[in-house]
């Protein structure tokens, strides 16, 4: 491994370690009854940032929202144009490496800022009219925000080590990444439909698309590298309001059994009940929690602390994968969102569900909210199934030649510089 690769890998590992510490601090106020279950569900996280960005470097990146879907009309042509642009960048020598040990931000004067300006001008994030100087002014700050938005990073306008890490990926590697993703997008030759849901796994976000425009975007939590979210095409056929959650056997053995030895009221606190194969409820007090895990169903009742939250979205697939809500909305604000067991957690899922149920008679937003409030497990079959696609795209382009890149979280692009070196598989996870 080259020195550059080693530095890149180590910095990303440090990123995830710091993210875990940050995440622990934000959940300190949770109710005591929820803490044990939360500790199983929680893992290092990546966070909530706006995946949309400004088309002009002179304006704040988060100020303008694009309504262009990744797989919209012209998607292949847009990536091909990005490839032409990056081929030109590479042919002209690429961009300079920004070498600094300082955290660069507005007001700083340092020779590294001149390197930064050159880097941002070449990638189109900073206007050439801004010039080259050692001053980190408001123009540079806005350009850094735009760069951060294009790479799925928190848009603080500060050149910290993680933004620097993404910035120092060579232009040649970015070009290869675009070519790889052109193959992926070009391979999509099916009619996506007038209305569909698209999950871009490495971007950890969800698009609801109608008439080739994004109706809404939703931050997501997707599968970690050892339990990846599958790539699939399917159709949503059912929405489960106030779902039950059944604990996987592995969680029962590795987590719930030790917790019951420590606290015999754990199941009661977390509203988990036991059932035998005939559906008869079993009293937890009759179980020897010091022995082997009983051959019983561990089912969590609907409610505020249910691991799937208030809504579960079902679609046809062989992976037992689904989308769902979560009682831990703070997960969407963390710096690591690759931590589930393969299923996808969706922020603002009630908005998405309202849109999905639009053509199902009687299911208004008011009816949805009232049903959630009732706490009653309620399955709703869609009158018209809605297509859903789980895709793996780490580089794409919309109109105006704006190119976005994401980490190659499942290491499918083939370049070490693009892989997120996490260690997410070291943490236990309860809900999919």
- Residue 249: CB atoms within 10 A of its CB come to 11
Q: Scanning the structure block, which residue is given the tokens 């569909």? A: 196
**Which among 4, 218, 316, 324 is annotated as catalytic?**
324
**Which among 151, 218, 316, 343 is annotated as catalytic?**
343
- Answer whether 363's CB lies under 8 Å from 357's CB: yes
Q: How many CA atoms lie within 13 A of 423 on its CB side?
A: 12
Report helix, strand and coil shares of the chain as percent, to nearest 5.
Answer: 35, 20, 45
> Which one-letter DSSP state was computed for residue 256?
I
What distances in angstroms separate CA 376 from CA 75, 182, 370, one per listed residue? 43, 46, 10
- Answer whether 116's CB lies under 8 Å from 104's CB: yes
Output phi, psi for 63, to 5 deg: -75, -30
Spatial distance between the Cα atoms of 245 and 307, rounded to a whole number of angstroms: 7
- The pairing of strands 195-200 and 378-391 is parallel
DSSP 139-169: HHHHHHHHHHHHTT----S-B-HHHHHHHTS
Q: How deeply is 233 buried, as exposed, middle or buried, from its count of CB atoms within 10 A (0-12, 13-18, 19+)?
A: middle
- Residue 124: CB atoms within 10 A of its CB come to 19
- Residue 58: CB atoms within 10 A of its CB come to 14
Of residues 184, 154, 146, 172, the one with CA closest to residue 70? 184
Which run of H or E residues covers position 12?
helix 3-26
Spatial distance between the Cα atoms of 163 and 395, rounded to a whole number of angstroms: 17
The verdict on whether 343 is a catalytic residue reads yes
Output phi, psi for 23, to 5 deg: -65, -40
Spatial distance between the Cα atoms of 45 and 273, rounded to a whole number of angstroms: 29
Residues labelled as active-site residues: 324, 343
């Amino acid at each position: 491994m080259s020195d550059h690769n080693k530095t890149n890998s180590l910095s990303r590992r440090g990123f995830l370690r710091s993210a875990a510490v940050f995440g622990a601090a934000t959940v300190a106020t949770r109710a005591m009854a929820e803490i044990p279950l939360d500790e199983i569900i929680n893992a290092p996280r990546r966070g909530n940032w706006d995946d949309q960005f400004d088309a002009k470097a002179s304006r704040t990146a988060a100020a303008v929202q694009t309504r262009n879907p990744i797989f919209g009309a012209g998607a292949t042509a847009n990536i091909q144009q990005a490839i032409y642009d990056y081929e030109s960048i590479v042919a002209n020598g690429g961009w300079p490496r920004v070498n600094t040990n300082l955290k660069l931000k507005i007001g700083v004067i340092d020779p590294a800022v001149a390197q930064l300006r050159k880097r941002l001008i070449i990638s189109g994030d900073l206007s050439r009219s801004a010039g080259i100087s050692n001053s980190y002014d408001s123009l540079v700050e806005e350009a850094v925000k735009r760069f951060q938005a294009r790479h799925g990073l928190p848009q603080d306008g500060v050149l910290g080590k993680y933004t620097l890490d993404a910035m120092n990926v060579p232009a040649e590697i970015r070009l290869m990444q675009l070519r790889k993703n052109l193959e992926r997008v070009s391979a999509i030759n099916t009619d996506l439909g007038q209305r569909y849901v698209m999950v871009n796994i490495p971007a950890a976000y969800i698009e609801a698309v109608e008439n080739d425009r994004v109706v809404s975007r939703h931050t997501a939590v997707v599968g970690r590298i050892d339990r990846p979210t599958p790539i699939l095409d399917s159709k949503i056929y059912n929405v489960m309001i106030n779902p039950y959650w059944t604990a996987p056997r592995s969680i029962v053995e590795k987590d719930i059994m030790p917790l019951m030895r420590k606290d015999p009221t754990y199941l009661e606190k977390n509203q988990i009940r036991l059932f035998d194969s005939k559906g008869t409820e079993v009293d937890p007090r009759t179980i020897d929690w010091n022995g082997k895990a009983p051959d019983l169903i561990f089912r969590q009742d609907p409610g505020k602390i249910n691991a799937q939250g208030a809504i579960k979205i079902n679609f046809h697939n062989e992976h037992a994968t689904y989308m769902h809500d979560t009682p831990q909305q703070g997960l969407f604000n963390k710096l690591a969102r690759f931590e589930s067991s393969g299923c996808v957690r969706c922020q603002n899922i009630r908005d998405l569900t309202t849109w999905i149920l639009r053509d199902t008679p009687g299911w208004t937003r008011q009816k949805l909210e009232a049903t959630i409030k009732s706490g009653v497990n309620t399955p709703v079959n869609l009158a018209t199934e809605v297509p859903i696609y789980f895709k793996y795209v780490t580089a794409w382009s919309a109109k105006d030649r704006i190119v976005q890149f994401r980490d190659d979280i499942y290491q499918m692009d083939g370049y070490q510089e693009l892989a997120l070196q996490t260690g997410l598989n070291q943490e236990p996870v309860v809900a999919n």
